[in-house]
């Protein structure tokens, strides 16, 4: 699947320097990339949203360790989360990465567990 993005020639020069976000947002993406490189399971979430908490509980119940990154709440850091969403192409939290692959959110993780596919993903490439 190829994700469509706005062609750079269609972005006015006055705002081109803003595309991709500030250094703070780039540092956030770099932090996530580093976590994905260093951990088999990474959960990216936010405060107040119940689904990151459900995903972490499900992983705990499976006896699996994971790295959790949290960015703001419904009331703060929405631009930072927007940069994450644009980078990943995924619109909701949590974002769950298994061995560097975005598998989706909580319901997608639950489906993998229900179908006994999560461990197979973790074992791939070993």
Q: How far apart are CA 36 and CA 30, in angstroms?
A: 10
Q: Report the chain (126 residues): mean pLDDT per 10 consecutive residues.
A: 85 82 84 98 97 98 97 94 93 97 98 96 82
Whose CA is closest to 42, among 16, 19, 69? 69
> With contact defined as beta carbons under 8 Å apart, do 66 and 42 qualify?
yes
User: In CATH, what number does 21-123 get?
Assistant: 3.40.30.10
> With contact defined as beta carbons under 8 Å apart, do 81 and 95 qualify?
no
Strand order from edge to edge, sheet including 67-70: 67-70, 41-45, 95-98, 101-104
Q: How far apart are CA 116 and CA 110, in angstroms?
A: 10
Q: What is the pLDDT of residue 2?
A: 83
Q: What is the pLDDT of residue 8?
A: 85
Q: What is the pLDDT of residue 125?
A: 63
Domain boundaries, the chain: 21-123
In order, the DSSP letters of 19-76 are TT--HHHHHHHHHHHHHHHH-SEEEEE-TT-HHHHHHHHHHHHTT---EEEE--BTTB
In three-state secondary structure terms, 108 is helix
Model confidence pTM above 0.85: yes
36-46: pLDDT as tens digits: 999 999 999 99
């Amino acid at each position: 699947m190829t994700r469509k993005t706005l062609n750079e020639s269609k972005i006015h020069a006055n705002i081109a320097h803003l595309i991709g976000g500030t250094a703070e947002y780039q540092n956030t993406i770099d932090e996530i990339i580093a976590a994905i490189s260093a951990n088999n399971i990474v959960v990216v979430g936010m405060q107040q949203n119940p689904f990151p908490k459900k995903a972490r509980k499900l992983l705990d119940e499976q006896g699996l360790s994971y790295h959790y990154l949290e960015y703001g709440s419904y009331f703060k850091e929405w631009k930072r989360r927007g940069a994450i969403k644009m980078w990943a192409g995924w619109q909701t939290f949590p974002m769950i990465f298994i061995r560097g692959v975005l598998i989706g959110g909580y319901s997608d993780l639950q489906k993998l567990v229900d179908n006994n596919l999560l461990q197979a993903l973790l074992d791939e490439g070993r």
